[in-house]
Amino acid sequence: MQRATLVGQEATEWCAGLPLVEVRPLADSELTALRSEARKYRWWGVLALLSLPLTITAFWLASLLPDSIVPNSLGFNVLVILLILAGGAIFVISPILTYKYLSRAVASASDTRAGCLKRFEGCVGEGTSIDGALTHNDLLRADASARQWLELLPSSGRLWSANSRMAPFWITLRTTTVANTPANAYAAAREINNAEEAASAKLMGERILSAKEREELAGHIERAWGTNAAAAVLLTAWLSFVSLFDLAYLTWPAPWFVLVWACSFVITIWIDLAFIKGVVRAYRLNRDRKTGKALMISLPGQAKDEAGGEAPTREIETLPYSRSLWSSSGAPAGWRKTRI
């Protein structure tokens, strides 16, 4: 069994708020199950692929039938309409299912060749967002302090099991690499003169982010830029087209057109605002990356301890420009440990 906590000794791989602790080989029964699933998805993909040319052939043969043998009845006309609708659905669904099943077949075969599982184990911690598919199917608990684990297939990113339960269906999870805080980071931290004090917090100093931490920030920046970018561009282009069509061809918009335009406008504004929010966050994170510093803050205890005294202080790190929490009590912030 291979220990795999660190990635290049400078970073840790995380999934759903849990750190990678080991990579174990697949058992023979698990390899057999994977090979069987790869064959199943391959056959389903082939059937989905063949459904499109078979449907086209069926419509072409139907068009060759002479009118003399085609019954002219209400029931037959309804049947024809239903078949046309079914054919249209096949035209739309067939490429989607073909890609879905064949890509899963390829991924399952790749996982079989890899012959291993990644095991992530630990406590999710506060402030970590967990994929709804995990909590709704009782695979992971929302309890931040409970110790939990999950196993992931490396090539496909498919969840294999979690907390001794097999995944009930195909769930794909994404991993993220979080830079480890260097051992000498705090020794090299610079104490800030005239430390800023407030009723609830005290600024203790600042430290330089390591090269691996800045590399991690670059990945977060790239994802923030890409959030809703494609949808924002496409919807904005569609709304512009609809508006220009109205100005060029419609002197008085019809009710159906007003409804289409209003729905397009609301959805476009909603997506554009989310995109702009991501751009602003990317800009601030990029300033943090260029500055390369984290602020060290001491927070007083919020409650009494068991002996009735003051609870110990909690040390956190924040980024100066984005104001994002970077670490808490030496552990990475929740948003760094998961990708949804």
Q: Domains of the chain: which residue ranges?
A: 2-179, 181-209+292-340, 213-284
What would the pLDDT profile of 286-337 be if each residue is shown by its tens digit?
A: 999 988 888 888 877 655 555 555 556 778 888 988 888 888 877 888 888 8
- Could you write out the DSSP letters of every residue in 299-322? E--SSB-TTSSBPPPEEEEE-TTT
Q: What is the pTM (predicted TM-score) of this model?
A: 0.65
Q: How many CB atoms lie within 10 A of CB 217?
A: 23
Q: What is the pLDDT averaged over residues 125-149?
A: 79
| Confidence band for 3, pLDDT divided at 50, 70 and 90 | very low
- Residue percentage of the chain with pLDDT more than 70: 82
Q: 117 in helix, strand or coil?
A: strand
Which helix (H) or strand (E) is 98 found in, with range?
helix 74-114
Question: How far apart (Å, rounded) are the C-alpha atoms in residues 95 and 38?
Answer: 19
Please, which pLDDT band fits residue 1 given cuts at 50, 70 and 90? very low
Q: What is the mean pLDDT of residues 13-41?
A: 91
Q: What is the mean pLDDT of residues 271-299?
A: 88
* pLDDT of amino acid 104: 93
Q: Alpha-carbon distance 144 to 141, whole Å?
A: 8
Q: Is the pLDDT of residue 186 over 70?
A: no
Per-residue pLDDT tens over the stretch 82-96: 777 777 788 878 888
Residue with tokens 């069987």: 36
